[in-house]
Amino acid sequence: MARCHCRWCNVFICMCSPCICLVLLFIYASIMVCMDMQSTISPSRVIEEDRFVAPGTLRNNSFAPLPNTFWKLHWHGDAFWNHLQLSIDRHFNPILHPNTKLGFDDSTLLRQSFSEVINLDSTKKNLDKLPQHIQEFVGYMNIRDYATLIQPDGVCGAGAKDEREPPLLLLAIKTTELNFKNRQAIRQTWGQVGWMAGQKRNSSRGDEGGGYIRRVFLLGKENPEELGVDLSELLQIESQRYGDILQWNFKDTFFNLTLKDVLFWDWFSRSCSQTRFVFKGDDDVFVNTPNMITYLQEQLKKPKAHRTMKDFMVGDVIGAAIPNRVNNSKYFIPDTFYQGLYPTYAGGGGVVYSGLLAKRLHNISKRIHLFPIDDVYVGMCMIRLNVYPIHHDAFLTFDFPGKEKEERCSYHRILLVHKRNPNQIIKLWEDVKKTQTQCQGVPLRNAAKKEKKDKKPKQAKL
């Protein structure tokens, strides 16, 4: 009886001791791996401001294009732009290179990666197959230091001479030499400079305050031979009269629009250190500027605003958009040029961000190759700052849904609507003024209403 018991005991020890050993070994290995990871990560624990952070570690990952499987590398090596950017992103990745020195010459790095990739045999073969206008883009995408032809009068665009506090909002509007009528309509209406009062939301609470507005128009150059006329002299006169023209010496084409962002950030960082917010948009939008002023002042009054302002961008946010692959579209991007989803971005018709963010975008843009579509490029900069734009339903970059346009007070409930021609802009501005008392206190459009009204998801750039 006792012997039998002993035998079972032996069997038990025989079976279990290897298991126990394995468990101990596993625990030991886990602890060692953990300690090792701790020691490599800790130097960059506090991830510096402008180091690339991979998607997935984002604060707001509601739109983050997460890979289906974590082991699938998003390499996309044969797409030209991805190939160019990959080495730069790797270089500034705080996990791969925790000790990379910040602040050295980023433009050298961009140029280096460009000449390396463009000289590969495989790239040369693929480049020939790209459509003509993309080949042209590639030919110039490495250049971004174009001369300034016309500078605005004021330090930071046209504004009131007697500003008693830093400007609240700089309106930076993309336009072309030809669109004089658009500029003039904007100057007379929503783009007036100087002190502007906010929108009173509550008669009982009295005046909602206001802020100083400044304005600058962003232009490239038309080719007089192609255009048939030379408008540069008229633009000079316009600039002397209004002092709000900022023109650079590059051809004003759709694929060169990204240059306006990059060069604007450069100018802004040097000239507009005090400006609180930037509106950047097209010259065919209507902005309810009083609403915008009140909305922005509310943001400044929020608790912790001094910390959140460095990340502040608001607009019509488009998430997980697929590049347009229809070859006759203006937005066509072939998969030999770019693969993968676009990062979350705010539609370029009109977007507002803080002056602080503009300066950070300026810094990070020196590490990101130009991309032909301007608002997507801004999204590419944002994701590398680990910042997400905030969506607001009062930015209507795809116009009003359904019949909402005809509703009473519809234009009092928005911050921006695209697209309106100069005559419409002038008419709308007058209408909004006329219906002021009638529509006083209507709230801005918001998400709750949107859920009821348009369930349809937005399609970007199709």
Ligand X SMILES: *[C@@H]1O[C@H](CO)[C@@H](O)[C@H](O)[C@H]1NC(C)=O
3-state DSSP assignment of residue 354: strand
CB 91 within 8 A of CB 109: yes
Which amino acid, residue 105?
Answer: D
CB 355 within 8 A of CB 269: no
CB 210 within 8 A of CB 196: yes
List 201, 449, 453, 458, residue binding ligand X (CB under 6 A): 201
The binding track of 374-403 with respect to ligand X, each residue x by CB under 6 A or -, is: --------------x-xx------------
- Asked if the peptide bond before residue 419 counts as cis, ω within 30 degrees of 0, the response is yes
206 binds ligand X (CB under 6 A): no
How many residues bind ligand X, per CB under 6 A?
Answer: 22
List 255, 268, 295, 371, residue binding ligand X (CB under 6 A): 255
The stretch near ligand X (CB under 6 A) out of 68-76, 87-95, 201-209, 279-287 is 201-209
CA distance 429 to 161: 25
Q: Which of 283, 287, 286, 331 is nearest to 174 (CA)?
A: 283
The stretch near ligand X (CB under 6 A) out of 20-28, 114-122, 198-206, 230-238 is 198-206
CA distance 73 to 69: 9
Q: How far is the CB of 251 from ligand X (least distance, A)?
A: 4
The binding track of 79-118 with respect to ligand X, each residue x by CB under 6 A or -, is: ------------------------x---------------
242 binds ligand X (CB under 6 A): no
251 binds ligand X (CB under 6 A): yes
Residue carrying structure tokens 């206008």: 133
Q: What values do phi and psi take at 260, rounded to 5?
A: -65, -40
Nearer to ligand X, 256 or 299 (CB): 256
CA distance 433 to 435: 6
CA distance 315 to 209: 23
Q: How far is the CB of 290 from ligand X (least distance, A)?
A: 14
142 binds ligand X (CB under 6 A): no
Q: How far is the CB of 372 from ligand X (least distance, A)?
A: 7
List 137, 190, 312, 400, residue binding ligand X (CB under 6 A): 137
Tell me which residues in 258-317 interact with ligand X (CB under 6 A). Answer: none
18-24: list long-range contacts, CB under 8 Å, 24+ apart: none
Nearer to ligand X, 287 or 361 (CB): 361
List 17, 38, 60, 107, residue binding ligand X (CB under 6 A): 60
**What would the DSSP string read from start to end of 358-399?**
HHHHHHHHTTS---SSHHHHHHHHHHHTT--PEE-TTEETT-
Q: How far is the CB of 77 from ligand X (least distance, A)?
A: 23
Q: How far is the CB of 107 from ligand X (least distance, A)?
A: 12
208 binds ligand X (CB under 6 A): no
Task: List residues bridging with 211 in a β-sheet.
Answer: 196
Q: How far is the CB of 93 from ligand X (least distance, A)?
A: 18
How large is the greatest C-alpha to C-alpha distance in the chain, in angstroms? 114
Nearer to ligand X, 187 or 201 (CB): 201
Q: How far is the CB of 317 from ligand X (least distance, A)?
A: 8
Q: How far is the CB of 373 from ligand X (least distance, A)?
A: 12
CB 218 within 8 A of CB 128: no
What residues have CB less than 8 Å from 314, skipping those under 6 apart? 346, 351, 352, 353, 389, 390, 391, 392, 395
Nearer to ligand X, 67 or 443 (CB): 443
The binding track of 325-364 with respect to ligand X, each residue x by CB under 6 A or -, is: --x-------------------------------xx--x-
C-alpha 391 chain-centroid distance:
12
Nearer to ligand X, 434 or 450 (CB): 450
CA distance 97 to 95: 6
CB 74 within 8 A of CB 383: no
List contacts with ligand X (CB under 6 A): 49, 60, 62, 103, 136-137, 140, 201-202, 204, 250-251, 253, 255-256, 327, 359-360, 363, 388, 390-391
